[in-house]
Chain A
Amino acid sequence: MNIWFRQHRFALGAAFGQVRKAPGSFLFNVLVVAVALALPFAGVTLLDNVRPLSQELSVDPEISLFMKPDSSREQAQALDPKLRGILAGSHAKVSFVPREQALDNLRAKSGLSDVLQTLGDNPLPDSYVMKLEGFATNGADAARVDTIADAMRGLPGVDSVQVDSAWIKRLAALLNVLRLALLLLAVTLGVVVIAVVFNTIRLQVLTQREEIAVSKLLGATDNFIHRPFYYTGALLGLCAGAVALGAVALALRPLNTAIAEFARLYASEFQLTVLHPLGLAGLLAISAGLGLVGAMLSVQRHLARLH
């Protein structure tokens, strides 16, 4: 174990030694890799912030049924078995929302309690909210939802029926597209990172070919020779990842100023925040991993040629 630590300490020291020999070159490579990493990191941060919002929203179809303002509470409650009959065969959660509760909800969520107080009488009708489960976003299920809604419109005392899921589905679809686009962008830029590290290590191998050749003649194993290059690649990826995350964190400040103004229009305090520590550590590990992969590919290819 002692020898294992000594070997890795030597390799790490040799990697830092290379950085010290050409700090400008290393810094330049870190910046190039950081630029490539910054875009996907920004995308991950954005998605991580938006994901809780999208999860709060239901993508299952939701039908809201509003009674006529002059219909009685008994008339409204009498609809319950009829609605369940229409929904028979579908998984659905039916909730009756009395007009008083609807007003309380409006007061709590809209921030318009002062305005609502001036109205005097409650203008809201009794209503039902029906959440349908197990529906896909395909055309056949959409048609089923429409048929159910039409059947409800014909019930006595019903003023209007709304199907509320369409825009939520569009948002979910958009997020899926964004997620896929981010994945493709990350893969593409991951290849760029590997290529940059590959070339950096190639140059180092060429610069040190005499040292490598002499070391082999003196009894150095392949692992002994390869290991400092692996550390250099991982170090390059790690430093670039840290720079990229720092750049994303800095970019959030002006973005949040603009977002705050926009969110205020919707009575929201939504702000973009940096990833949680585990997420940051994960991205740094991925950066170091990409550097390591680039170094391994380069070392395998170029040292094989030297041998």
Chain B
Amino acid sequence: MLSVDFEKQLSGFHLRPSFDADEGLIVLLGPSGSGKSLTLRAIAGLLRPDAGRIELPSGVVFDSAARIDVVPQARSVGYVVQDLALFPHLTVAENIAFGLHGWPKERQRERVRELVELMSLDGLETRLPRETSGGQQQRVALARALAARPRVLLLDEPFSALDAPIRNALRREVSRLRRQLGLLALFVTHDLQEAFALADRIAVYDDGAVLQCGPRDEVFRTPATVRVAQLLDARNLFEGRVVSKTEAFTEIETPWFRAKARAEGDLAPGARAALCVRPEHVILLRRDRPHTNQLDTTLDVELIDELATGNNHRLYLKVAGAEECIIEADVSAHPYQVMGVASRREWRVALTLDQTVAIPLADA
């Protein structure tokens, strides 16, 4: 059980995160400076909130009403900071064993051996941190944090300084370890891909507050606000008004087109709402082929620009007859070639009903 709900006034910044989780890996996602790292510091006991409550699997560690403030030493957290902070004058083995102070010598040696094996650090035990590679330093920091068997693992952008291949390998390793050890883990990142790859739950941060927290797919599928959708890089957001609502769908009228979104939520006709569909859920069609699903919204579009992003092509499509209305669509390399996207400008898109969501907007 993890429950975080506190506030802290810092010079020019009001930190007031609130989220909870039962288990798994929770990603704190948000732009830099939104308070993710400070939240970890508060959970670790290195930043004292002004008010609120923090509960960890080891118990309530902070509660301003009950005057509880457990020292960092007793919170049973493993904390990997962004710059790792490996003790530069201690060897790899000494770094890993640092948290085992007070254990019998023989059990310390045993535990260090276990972790060296778990993290594939064999042969590096007597080296100083600076004599190991970046990826190895990451694993030493992880091993050091895990050594005393903490109940929570806090990871603050631990892979941001590494090259992509090592980063991917380490992400998989963290996922595997967490499952293997059954740990609750908090992972701070501003990288959407990393968040998606790792998260069971996502807490979306903006300017010191958590805007939305929930299971990963739910947050991606149903952003609670336009700001969340923007932070999750949803790209296609169109303001409009609800014109009708049935059991099957909510129909939204935007200044440029009408479209159907999922029926969930309590948006009544006349309410302001934003239509949101991620580029990967916009389906590209040829205009001369009929689209079978009648509930999907189809729009005639004109291809005006594109950007190749490795596996994908991001297409910028102008809605026919509407100036300044661009829909972004991702097409993967294979269909891009088969359909001959590069050779024609006239297309049609389908916004699949299941992936199109209506986000409530405050009345202007």
Are chains A and B native binding partners rather than an unrelated pairing?
no
Mark B residues whose CB is within 8 Å of A.
none
